[in-house]
Structure 1
């Protein structure tokens, strides 16, 4: 080995010796636990010596390039190319290609039917979200299907009602309450929506759509049990506590010719949670 090679070996050995010294210092610092600086200094010297040793080893002792690896020609022989091309030749008959064209065309036409239904005959989401089964003249019934007369709702009570024939429609549930008409302070234009203090609101909370099912009679408040939103019955069911930010939609009421309570229209705005409003 030449003098240059020996000097390189000694340099690498010194670097690794620094690694040994650093490891010893780090171990001593860890065992004694008295000096964290010694622990950090030991690891720093150890990794620095290791990096220096590998660098010197790669630069001085390993063979220096550049190196070129000879490879065989990548082009296939003519016989192999001809055999591959023959494998991808089109089939002799036209029947498979014609049937594939017919299959893809028929499948594409069939896919147009559901698309046409969505674009032309599908229900409009805006209309579906904005309306319920309530209409002018629809009679109120309870969960058993019995008609509701005003005398059946004494003052201070709450009753869940449905549009006749739609007891299974979740967005049409309403709460029927009887309060002192002299205490009502409804928004302008809704003064005639009650029948002798009998008032109706949507049962779906405007926060997350949970059913409002608790009635605080002394305070005339409705409470949603899910997130404790509270609504003032006397002031149009406006929210007074909790996360709900919108009033419960009100259902206009009147008395039908047969003496039962009927709706005078749909809720004054969409029911349920998080409905958007036009700006």
Structure 2
């Protein structure tokens, strides 16, 4: 039967199915455009796009399976063997006097160049392995604060207990590591009788030390409110109660400021007895 004798059985049904699928696709695309133009709603936009692509895929699939001609089609391929003249030219190129295989010096240099490139490519891979440094997670969770490290001011001078004022806070850093971004802390003198929660790092005569980095986004909590013994982050207004273990009582921060355990060494200077009680900085550390 020729194609002029009329549609084959099932072609009309397939055409209707394809038409419905393409119409559905067009409606989905129009729905997406409408939702987007009227302000957008992520779930509806995604649903409309899913309907549009599903209709398009279904229509094309039925079209290819039901309406396109099928059957066995054979295309003759030219012989795989090259003619003798071409094989002769290939032999001359590979084995003749001008063949690259006869230039041993150049091949050696090529091997050297490729070997050097391969060796150089190993160095970026080496940087991913902890040969001469700690693992990244460990490095991010720890700071240079450790037992025996003195508290110093920004100019590097050690801090004595009497240097901590009663009406404001004093920024402090670990001796020898003042330029690290995760080490800033502050010391403040409080009345131990007002503590409702013991300081996580303890206190020395009412002096407590906490990380200066907000646990929301890492901004410095640089505003001290003496009357209420609270620290305020000026970036997003997180508020930490120093009388209750520096717990957040307002703002987006959800984690207390990490405390720093301190003591007084034999020379009379404030000294850390360990690292912060928790990783300093943004609150992603609280995620499990």
SS in structure 1 of the partner of residue 285 of structure 2: coil
TM-score by length of 1: 0.64
The answer for the alignment partner of 2:162 in structure 1 is 151
The structural deviation recorded for 1:260 is 1.4
SS in structure 1 of the partner of residue 284 of structure 2: coil
TM-score by length of 2: 0.62
Structure 1's 123 and 218: CA in aligned 2 closer, same or farther, altered over 3 A? Answer: same
CA distance in 1, matches of 2:103, 2:238: 71
SS in structure 1 of the partner of residue 111 of structure 2: helix
Q: How does 1:119-158 map to 2 (within 5 A)?
A: 119=129, 120-158=131-169
The C-alpha deviation readout for 1:113-155, integer Å capped at 9, x for no partner, is 4423431334311121111111111111111222211112232
CA distance in 2, matches of 1:97, 1:210: 59
The answer for the alignment partner of 2:211 in structure 1 is 202
Structure 1's 89 and 242: CA in aligned 2 closer, same or farther, altered over 3 A? Answer: farther
The structural deviation recorded for 1:98 is 4.2
The C-alpha deviation readout for 1:54-93, integer Å capped at 9, x for no partner, is xxxxxxxxxxxxxxxxxxxx9xxx99x959x76x944613
Conserved? CA contact 1:155–1:180, under 8 Å: no
The structural deviation recorded for 1:168 is 1.5
Q: Kindly report the root-mean-square deviation, in angstroms, between the aligned alpha carbons of the 2 structures.
A: 2.9
CA distance in 2, matches of 1:251, 1:122: 25
**Ranges in structure 2 where 5+ consecutive residues have no aligned partner:** 1-77
**Ranges in structure 1 where 5+ consecutive residues have no aligned partner:** 1-73
Answer with 1 or 2: which has the greater Rg.
1
CA distance in 2, matches of 1:248, 1:140: 18
Q: Is 2:233 aligned against 1:224?
A: yes
